[in-house]
Amino acid sequence: MTTFKIFGAHDADTRLLRDNLALALSTFPLDNKVEEVSEPNKIRFSGVLLTPALMLDGEVVAEGKVPSVQELTTIFQNRFLLKSKIYRLRTITVPVDMSKPAECALVFAWHLAQKFDAKLDVIYAMDSIFEGSLPSASGFLSGYKKTMEQELETFVKETLGKAGFTYDPPSQKVPAPRTEEEDDGLTVTLSVLYGFPEAVIEERSRKTDLIVMGTTGRGGVGRDLFGSVSTEVSRIAHCPVLFAPVGAEFHGFNNVLYASNFDSLDALRIKQAVTFARRFGGRMHFVHVGPPGEKALDLERKLFEVDYQHSSPEYPFLFSRMIGDDVVEQLNEYALYNKIDLMVLVTHQRTFWESLLHKSITRKALVGAGLPLLIMHSDDDMLK
């Protein structure tokens, strides 16, 4: 919970600060607690020199003046941007199953890890020798795990070798659950973990900043968009998930499409996406799809324009409207004609994304684009 403290006498400026804070919190909702401190000794002992003042989680963010609603919103955005996983990107996890899609995901993750100077965490979920919900207690289990560790090392070395990278895993005389290798400053960690893939990856997502996966793979036969594991991970992960389609080559993200709808109008997520794109020198395209005569589009444009102040003259934000009943088909059409390199989808509710995934026409349309796809859940991708 975020704690705010308002310091000041019961005067007009203090009341205005209270009102502006309430308005800012209405546009940037936070789980919060607001306290007011007016007793002079308590104000002095808090370290506040001038009133009115505002403290956010023990840090004075305004003193001797009343910030506007927009200034307060910007303070919130900047503070929580620093806590977002997609901004930090210290660890990138790539689950693999030794398949072709996993090869593509690993190469994508390698490029991203180099770009952000992040640790690359390669994991394999070992679930094929389960009895019910418990692993076998036989000695075969440890032997099988050692075999999979060796196969995982070989897979990583060969995959990265084909992409022009050199990875030399350290020699192992005894079985170990984790291995690390430093390659030109890039730390690579390999892990073979017990459990069903969905559960293993969800647990890992609590500790990592980004998951990179292929769009199909083991268990994905007959799926148009994601394999069954990828579908579930996209719904339950506690960090952003980037899907790399088979055959896609990494060339950076020069043009990034932010799929706009009234559920994704989250100022912090917009700023997260913008910051991510800027690291690649990318241009943001905000694209809304809706039927003819749709109401409230002007409101949506104004809400996005709140963040236009972050646009640069060289790479101005582009705001476009596509008319059609099939949202993703229209997004794919826009992506094709505007050379989009990455599509970003943001959701507020897991149920929204779940319903989106289960529309077969949507899955088919996303596959048709052949684009990397970044999923951000606005409710659960912040550092704890």
Tokens of 129: 């020798």
Same domain, 141 and 49: no
At residue 5, the 3 state secondary structure works out as strand
> In which residue are the tokens 């003193």 written?
63
Same domain, 355 and 292: yes
Q: What is the CATH number of the domain that holds 65?
A: 3.40.30.10
Same domain, 96 and 71: no
> In which residue are the tokens 């965490």 written?
121
Q: 52: cis peptide before it, omega within 30°? A: yes
Angle at 334 between CA 228 and CA 227, to 5 degrees: 5
The total number of structural domains in the chain stands at 2
Distance of CA 142 to the CA centre of its chain: 35
Same domain, 95 and 70: no
Q: Which band of pLDDT confidence, cut at 50, 70 and 90, is reported for residue 286?
A: confident
Q: Which of 40, 61, 81 is where one domain is finished?
A: 81
Query: Per-residue pLDDT tens for 295-338?
Result: 655 555 555 555 445 555 566 677 777 777 677 778 888 888 89
Tokens of 225: 């968009």
Q: Which band of pLDDT confidence, cut at 50, 70 and 90, is reported for residue 12?
A: very high
Query: Per-residue pLDDT tens for 63-105?
Result: 999 999 888 887 877 776 666 777 778 899 999 988 888 898 9
Q: What is the CATH number of the domain that holds 339?
A: 3.40.50.12370
CA torsion sign for 367, 373, 376, 382 is: positive
Q: Which of 81, 105, 135 is where one domain is finished?
A: 81
Same domain, 25 and 147: no
What pLDDT score was predicted for residue 8?
A: 92
Same domain, 219 and 230: yes
Same domain, 152 and 297: yes
Q: How far is the C-alpha of 349 from the C-alpha of 82, rounded, in Å?
A: 22
Prediction pTM value: 0.72
Distance of CA 365 to the CA centre of its chain: 22
What pLDDT score was predicted for residue 175?
A: 36
Same domain, 40 and 154: no
Query: Per-residue pLDDT tens for 368-380?
Result: 557 888 888 765 5
In the chain, how long is the greatest CA-to-CA distance?
Answer: 75
Q: Which of 33, 52, 81 is where one domain is finished?
A: 81
At residue 210, the 3 state secondary structure works out as strand
Same domain, 114 and 242: yes
Domain extent for 60: 2-81
The answer to whether residues 374 and 345 touch, using CB atoms and an 8 Å cutoff, is yes
Same domain, 74 and 207: no
Same domain, 102 and 73: no
Same domain, 110 and 62: no
Closest CA to 94 of 183, 159, 171, 174: 159
